Structure 1
Amino acid sequence: MEIIVEILTTILSQFQKPTLAFLIGGMLLAALGSRLEVPEPVYKLVVLLLLMKVGLGAGIAVRGANLMELAVPALGATIAGIVIVLIGRAILLRQQGVSPMDGMATAGLFGAVSASTLAAAMGMLDAEGVAYEGFIGALYPFMDVAALLTAITLARMSAARSIVSTPDEAGTATMTMGGNGSGFNGTFVKDILVDTLKSPAISALLLGLALGLFARPETVYASFYEPLFHGLLSLLMLVMGMEAWARLADLRKVAHVYILYGILAPFVHGAIGFAIGMAANHFTGFSAGGVVLLAVMASSSSDVSGPPTLRAALPEANSSSYIGTSTALGTPIAILSIPLWMALAEAMIAG
């Protein structure tokens, strides 16, 4: 009972902190019909700077890290991304009103990682003085790419199985695939991987990671990126709150199962990430903060890299299904659940 009270107290205290307060404030402004807007170029710049900060910090940390200490969480992140997609596939594709393409796109988006949610969790841990491995940002691409590749590959395999024979004008039977007619061949996985790595979020993160590894950016990191981090994060949370409320209308256009999935998935996925983090803690001494961030990455749904990748790879999928479910429910719930993972880690990991 004492542990439960402690967890609830920790959760409630976090709602007074800037990260969650700005998110809730943005939702309230949108609900009240405010015309406040943050220009799209400003929003993109904020995301770029936050990702560069995460990438630079990760690169600097990886440079001096023990590779074995990095390998175990990286493997865990990859496994988490794949498992989350498989769970989403098993649940969504069995429901009425959910097409295979829409279901797989939703599962892929929820398996991928939200840059804003990861940044929010880092900000909250920093504010509480909770230590975590500096290389955590380097785990982002492992989970993100694994989830997107798995979802798109399974969706295309499902489309390939739906091939039907249709006679052409000469009366010859030809094979056509459902959807946009794209073929299933040995090069499409490579194309998906390249497109994912070229996405804005992954590109910015990998650039920061490379600079942190091979350059010496400590001065600009300490004088520019670190001081701006919390201010930029609060602005991003404000935008995310307003967008989440605006996207609620999209959910009226899709099956109600998406609403239930969007509410429950962040907790189920976060528990998977938390369990993997606890295993890493047991075998390698992975920190409590690292466990929290792995849980947060698993609970999040991609808001930057995922949507454009899925639009390009699965154009048949209804974006109202996967983006509406993610933005309106998945992302705010994942951010609001961060105190839960912090409290659980504090209760379960001594020291």
Structure 2
Amino acid sequence: MGPVVEIIYTNLLSPLILFFIIGIIATLVNSDLKVPEAFYTGYTMIILLTIGINGGRKLKNASFNEMFITILAALFLSIVMLGITYLLVKNVFKFDIPNSLALAAHYGSVSAVTFVAGLSFLDKMMVSYEDYMPAILVVMEGPAIVLAIVLYKIMMKKDSDSTSGLGEVFKEAFFGKSIFLLLGGIAIGLIAHQTELAKIEPLFGDLFYGILSIFLLHMGMIATQQVRDLKGIKWYSFAYVFILPLIGGVCGILVGNFIGLSIGGTFILGVLTASASYIAAPAAIEHSIPEANSGVYIGSSLGLTLPFNLIFGIPFYFWLSNFIVS
């Protein structure tokens, strides 16, 4: 396991991870450090747009046939993770149907921040990946959320007059702010002239990792607070927050290798499948599955799975991708 330890050590020295750890420490020592809500909204928009714009620029050179196969694989993985999550948390951890489906929506969807951290790790390791991977991020964000809510309405016998109709569910899952900004960024990157894109490069390029560092500092603070809010609950009741990303990472890597992705592409598909949504999914689930406990699904995805993936998961998925693909 020597290579894994070395990769973890390299990851821990990444400025992004160090900022995240500083955020964790700030909350643990009860620092008065605060990030204004307006700043959080602003740099979330910049991060999502930057991912989209860079992805759109690279999509110009992508092979549609190759991308189509990866899209099908991504959709397959989203549904598989939804099913695995539901069966695991309901049958093994004994959650009720609303909470099981809410968690399935989060773990069947993906995290843009984990995705960017994975890309940053590849850059640091000087490993290339398929240009269209940002599009796969968009593809994997909505389907599991919609399917979980549809299953909830069927299982709980909710009629069409319930608080949130399916039309609203589709709108929230596919046109909520995260997906809308990602799609908008991809469109800009695809159709805008390169000379004009160069004019916005200082904000949506040069400053990107600096903004992302502050965002991760904030995420470290929020994640730690979410864990604190779960006090009184036995730790083993949340063991799935570590089991599911490992299952997702392995499944994504195996599928990526099967469809012929590069080591970098296989790694990214594994990272996406291992991640859990904490932006798009909570917004949709809060209104559509009101019986679910928001502290459980946000605390799980943001408070526990995100730190696990950023600090330990990403190095492991990279090692496993190298081991399987090569």
Q: Which residue identity lines up with residue 146 of structure 1 in the other structure? A: P
From 211, 226, 237, the counterpart of 2:188: 211
SS in 2 for 1:307: helix
What are the superposed Cα offsets for residues 309-333 of structure 1, whole Å, 9 maximum, x if unpaired?
Answer: 1112212211111111111111111
Matched residue of 2:279: which SS? coil
Does 2:115 align with 1:136?
A: no
Q: C-alpha separation between the residues in 2 aligned to 1:7 and 1:198? A: 39
Corresponding residue to 1:259 among 238, 242, 261: 238
The equivalent position to 2:306 in structure 1, one of 331, 344, 348, is 331
The code of the aligned residue for 2:186 comes to L
1:111-260 aligned at under 5 Å gives the runs: 111-160=108-157, 177=158, 183=161, 188-216=165-193, 218-220=197-199, 222-252=201-231, 258-260=237-239
C-alpha deviation, 1:82, in angstroms: 0.6
Q: Given the superposition, is the C-alpha separation of residues 50 and 88 from structure 1 closer, same or farther in structure 2, using an over 3 Å criterion?
A: same
Choose the corresponding residue for 1:16, options 13, 18, 26. Answer: 13
Shift of 1:110: 1.3
Q: 2:291 aligns with which of 316, 319, 328?
A: 316
Deviation at 1:214, TM superposition (A): 2.2
Aligned counterparts of 1:17 and 1:195: Cα–Cα separation in 2: 34
Distance 1:254 1:321, change over 3 A: farther
Kept after mapping to 1: 8 A contact 2:54/2:186: yes
> Would the aligned equivalents of 2:52 and 2:185 in 1 still touch at CA under 8 Å?
yes
**Aligned equivalents of 2:43, 2:177: Cα separation in 1:** 13
TM-score, normalised relative to structure 1: 0.86
Question: SS state of the match for residue 142, structure 2?
Answer: helix
Q: Kindly provide the amino acid, as one letter, of the partner of residue 277 in structure 1.
A: G
Q: TM-score, normalised to structure 2's length?
A: 0.92
Shift in Å, 1:254: 5.6
Q: Quote the sequence identity (%).
A: 27
1:343 matched residue in structure 2: 319
Q: For residues 349 and 223 of structure 1, what CA distance do their matches in structure 2 show?
A: 36
Partner residue in 1 for 2:52:
55
Per the TM alignment, residue 347 of structure 1 is displaced from its structure 2 partner at its CA by: 3.3
Distance in 2 between the 1:36 and 1:123 partners?
26
The change in CA–CA distance for 1:96 and 1:260 in structure 2 (over 3 A counts) is: closer
CA contact (8 A) 1:104 1:152 kept: yes
Q: Which moved more, 1:131-140 or 1:340-349?
A: 340-349
Aligned twin of 2:29: 32
Aligned in 2, Cα 1:158/1:220: closer, same or farther, shift over 3 Å? farther
CA distance in 2, matches of 1:257, 1:77: 30
State the 1:32 CA deviation. 1.1
1:277 is displaced (CA, Å) by 1.3
Q: Which residue of structure 2 aligns with residue 268 of structure 1? A: 247
CA RMSD of aligned residues (A): 2.0
Letter in 1 for 2:298: I
Report the Cα offset of residue 95 of structure 1. Answer: 4.5
CA distance in 1, matches of 2:199, 2:254: 36
Kindly tell me: are residues 261 and 103 of structure 1, through their superposed partners in 2, closer, same or farther at Cα, counting changes over 3 Å? same
Q: Which residue of structure 2 aligns with residue 169 of structure 1?
A: none
Q: Which runs of 5+ in 2 are unaligned?
A: none
Q: How much does 1:229 deviate?
A: 1.7
Q: Give the whole-Å Cα distance in 1 for the aligned partners of 2:199 and 2:236.
A: 47
C-alpha deviation, 1:100, in angstroms? 0.5
Give distance in 2, aligned partners of 1:347 and 1:95.
31
Taking a change above 3 Å as real, the CA distance of residues 219 and 78 of structure 1, as seen in their structure-2 partners, is same
Which of residues 259, 262, 284 is equivalent to 1:287?
262
Deviation at 1:124, TM superposition (A): 1.8
Moved more, 235-244 or 217-226: 217-226
**Deviation of residue 220 (structure 1)?**
3.7
1:268/1:299 contact within 8 Å kept: yes
Q: CA deviation at 1:255?
A: 7.0
User: How far, CA to CA, are the matches of 2:23 and 2:11 in structure 1?
Assistant: 17
1:49-76 residue CA offsets vs partner (Å, 9 max, x unmatched): 1111111111112222110111111111
Where 2:259 maps in the other structure, the secondary structure is helix
Asked whether the 8 Å contact 2:109–2:275 carries over to 1, the reply is yes
